[in-house]
Amino acid sequence: MKNKIKASIIGASGYTGSELARILVNHPMVGIDHITSESHQDKKFSDLHPQFLGNLDIQLESASSIDVQDQDLLFLALPHGVSMDFVEKWQHSAVKIIDLSGDFRLSSAEVYEKWYKKAHTFKQGFQKAVYGMPELHAEEIKTANLVANPGCYPTASILSLAPLFHKKVVQEGTVIIDAKSGTTGAGIKVSPVTHFSNVNENFKAYGIGSHRHTIEIEEQLGGLFKKHIEVQFTPHLLPVDRGILATSYAKVSGEMDQEKLENLYASYFEGKPFVRLRKHAPSLKDVRGSNFCDIYPFWDKRTGRAIVLSAIDNLVKGAAGQAVHCMNLMFGLEEKEGLIQLPMQP
């Protein structure tokens, strides 16, 4: 591809829009044509996010002012329940869309309404949306016009268990996922839960038994298993800026040991450039600022369980980096183009 992809970021005020810009500004095959914000029109992007000063001073504008026919790709960095309106508005244009909200991640509008507790106004979008996890759906993503970028918790959780479900060795009803996220996973808007005094020197679980990412995990792992499955998923809030560490537990059928487990994971993730299999448990700082998912599969012979740890940066592999990975596939680029940022240590 000789010409640069003409891309726009719809929604610039949050962490996801900022992280998209951080990755795209150095992507050799992308030009950022527009960045929108309905509440900060006419400000510079660097006024909102000072880290971009001198490197991305583009003026913020309303989404309604963009001629989408002149764009190749739109990244929708918008809240749940808002993206669907823009997807419907631009459904007849030729522009490709990567939606980073949860509006089209699930199997139907009915499932969405049950778990998100809000009406879905563009049900037809589910018919063409492709779930944007390259490790599971690369071929579908390549030809997609609408990609539903996965959630951050589901990314860490699904990747931790995908090889076991693909091999169909998981004993049903035995999966437990214990996941912890930094505060940026809740978005940029302040709430009582994410207020500094509640997060600092604290640690808590939330969404117990009812978190909306549960169904996203179940649908994707069930797709690999070729049947409906249930998992026990519990998220926790860490007093850190970014990162997710998920610990997944599953009983497996048939003979298993550490070597067989490692070989099963190595075979499944062969050729997947952003999954790194570890010999020891990963930490948040092992992936911070990168698009890597570090996975450590451990066989507990005492209990007969696979215990799999996975670590991602929730803003990169769990959001913006995964979206750019999908973009590379959609436009026939090399998968790793623009995404080789090494983790930041310390």
Cα dihedral sign, 225-228-230-234: positive
Residues 6+ apart with CB under 8 A from 70: 6, 33
Q: What is d(CA 166, CA 21) in angstroms, rounded to the nearest whole number?
A: 34
Strand 176-181 and strand 244-251: pairing?
A: antiparallel
Is 152 known to be catalytic? Answer: yes
Q: How far apart are CA 25 and CA 58, in angstroms?
A: 11
Q: How far apart are the first and last CA of the chain?
A: 37
Classify strands 244-251 and 305-312 as parallel, antiparallel or unpaired: antiparallel
Given the residues 136, 152, 256, 316, select the one marked as catalytic.
Answer: 152
d(CA 297, CA 310): 9
Strand partners, 297: 308
- Strand, coil or helix: what is 186? helix
Q: Is 231 exposed, middle or buried (0-12, 13-18, 19+ CB in 10 A)?
A: buried
Residue in the block written with tokens 């979008």: 125
Name every residue whose Cβ is closer than 8 Å to that of residue 236 and which is 6 or more positions away in sequence.
178, 179, 180, 181, 203, 204, 205, 206
Distance, in Å, from the CA atom of 166 to the CA atom of 268, rounded to the nearest integer, reads 8
For residue 250 the two structure tokens come to 């599953």
The residues that are catalytic are 152
